[in-house]
Structures are given as C-alpha cells and as structure tokens.
Amino acid sequence: MQRSEGLSTYHFITDIMNKVRQGAGIPLHRREKPLQNVGSGAYQALRQDIAVREVCSSLEKSYLNDRTCKPATDRVAVVTGATGGIGQALVRRMIGRGYRVIILSRQAQVNMPGVMPVVCDLTNMDSICNAARTIIQHAPQLDVIVHCAGIITPRPVGQMGTQEIADQITVDLTAPIELTNALLPAMRRGGHIVFVNSMAAVFPLAGSSVYTAAKFGLRGFARALEQELRPRRIQVSSIYPASVNTPMLRHEMDAGGSIYNFIDQPQEPDVTAQRILECCERNSREIFSSVFDKLFTHACLASQGLLNLSLPVMKILGRMGYRTYKRRTSRM
C-alpha cells in the first residue's frame, strides 16, 4: 500500500487498521447486543475489536493534539518518583513540552535544564513538609502535581514485617495525601493533580494485601478530593496503568509478585509517561490502559462470583505471559 501525498498520517494508518479489522472478520459496526454463550473465538474477536477501536481513537487524539496543542511554556509541575522508570520518562516528556519541573528525591542530584531537584524522604512527614516549603518558596504558584512514587513488597499476611507494612502505607498513601495537603494552597485555579495509581486499586492482589489496601485508599482520596476542588476548577485525575517494564516490576517479581502482571506483556515506561502527560493536559477523572481493563475490573469489584471464576483463567494467562517475558528479557 502506497501513501498518497494528500493523505495525512492519521488517515493513512486508520485506513490500514480498518483493513486489518476487515481481514480479521470483525464487524465494522458497533456491537450493541449482549453476547450470549461467548466462546473463546468470540471473546478474542471482541478483544481485538476493542483494541482496534482504541488505537484508532488514540491516533485521532494524537493527530488533533499535533495540530492544536501549544507548548506548556512556563507551566510548573511537581513530580514525585522522578528517578524511577516511569518518572524519568515523564520528566523528559514534560521538559520537551516546556514545563519547569520540580522533582522530589531522597538524593536529588540532577543537572538538567528546566529541572529543580528537592531532597525529600517520602517515608518521613517532616521531610515532606520541609520539601513543600522549599517548593513554595521557589514556585509560589503550581500548575501540576504528579504523584508517581510507589513501592511494593509482596508478602502474605502473617509473614509481613512491621516496617514493610509501614513503608508501603506511608509511600503509597500517606505521602501523597500529606504532600497534596501541603502544596494545595499554591495550586493555580485550573491546575491539575494526577495520581499514578495501580490496577491493584480496583483488583485485589492476594499476596500484596497492604499495597492493595494503600491503592484502594488512594483511589478513594482522589475521588473525594475531586469533589472538594471543583469550585476552584482544579482537576483531579487517577491513572491506572497495566504492568510497566521497570526495575520496580522486576524487583516485585523477584520477591514473589503477582503473576497477573503478565496477562498482557508489560508496557514500556515511555508509553505510560505519554499517557500521564496527556492526562495532565486534559479534563479526565480515571484513565485505564484499555476499555476492557476498566469494564472487567469494575465487574469483578461488583461480583465476587465473577472474580472467583476468572482467577484460574487469569493465572494460566499470567504464567504464559511471564514465560514469554522471561524469554524476551533473557535475550537483551
């Protein structure tokens, strides 16, 4: 297939996607009737249909953004977890968009134009308060706060150490609340607070119950905060990425992490960073990696029976995906 001179990139790729969809035998019209007696073939076709439509929608948004979005010059963003895999990718993208970025790190040693490091230990409330005062002194008005930091220590209940419990609750839940509380007076009208949450906030992970509890709590805090800040027109969003190929994921699996991380292959950090940046610049409340993830996890929350029926199949898919991941990473 050759691309004509007058055809935009967006239309060229969506034309290809339509041909792929037709070749796979997937109807082009939307399925409105409920599926009955869904077999594996129909299930896979539905997944493909959803995936194709989401790619086309993403392409359309990217095409419109390229035409209409202006650089975010002079916008000030605070990012936690900026030294992690996702955080580093996000900071690079923010700098490219014209943000001035303030990062929080235990050992803030960054020499990058547009980046201001602030030393902060997220397990220490005094350190968080001191960091917040430093930030406000240097940037009295903030546009964006991105809570990207997180830790997980998989361990069955009954075998957890006291410090392991405290650190996960503190970093994953208490620190975002404390930092938001301290920086909120400096937020501009029309600003945006983004919580990089986890699928564990909507899908309980056995073996990581403390992490699950913290992420469920963070989701509740974000939903309540969104209602509080409506009068100030400050947006509050949560993003629920699927597993991401970072050192944190590898450490999690080495410690006995959930096999559900590999039902689909982990995303690269830059993919998640782009979704976070888009979230910072749009009106949104909760963002999932796919429509299927959003619908399925909420259905499992509503029905314990569906969750119990799904777990054996998910474990099989997760083990298969993990073997594929191990083979792929061993070649690198």
The full set of domain ranges for the chain reads 72-330
Residue where the block lists tokens 């099989």: 316
**Residue 29 to residues 12, 38, 44, 227, Cα–Cα distance (Å):** 20, 19, 17, 37
Crossing angle (nearest 10°) for helices 162-169 and 209-228: 20
Say what the pLDDT of residue 91 is. Answer: 94
Say what the pLDDT of residue 106 is. Answer: 82
pLDDT for residue 187 is more than 90 = yes
List pLDDT tens digits, range 228-263.
Answer: 999 999 999 999 988 888 888 888 888 888 888 888
In this prediction, residues 176-188 reach a mean pLDDT of 97
How many Å apart are CA 108 and CA 119, to the nearest integer? 5
Whether the CB-CB separation of 289 and 240 falls below 8 Å is answered with yes
How many CB atoms within 10 Å of residue 312? Answer: 9
**Residue 262 to residues 128, 249, 295, 318, Cα–Cα distance (Å):** 34, 10, 19, 5
List pLDDT tens digits, range 202-222.
Answer: 888 888 999 999 999 999 999
How many Å apart are CA 263 and CA 79, to the nearest integer? 29
Q: Which two tokens stand for residue 278?
A: 């888009």
Quick one: which of 279, 269, 275, 287 has its CA closest to 87? 269
The CA angle 194-199-202, to the nearest 5 degrees, is 100
Residue where the block lists tokens 């002194």: 137
Say what the pLDDT of residue 292 is. Answer: 83
In this prediction, residues 174-182 reach a mean pLDDT of 97
Q: Pick the range with the lowest mean pLDDT from 36-40, 295-299, 310-314.
A: 36-40
Whether the CB-CB separation of 203 and 197 falls below 8 Å is answered with no
pLDDT class of 102 with cuts at 50, 70, 90 = very high
How many CB atoms within 10 Å of residue 206? Answer: 12
In this prediction, residues 274-292 reach a mean pLDDT of 86
* Record: fold of 72-330: Rossmann fold (3.40.50)
DSSP per-residue letters across 42-61: HHHHHHHHHHHHHHHHHHHH
**Residue 214 to residues 171, 199, 201, Cα–Cα distance (Å):** 9, 12, 8
Q: What is the percent of the chain where pLDDT is above 90?
A: 44
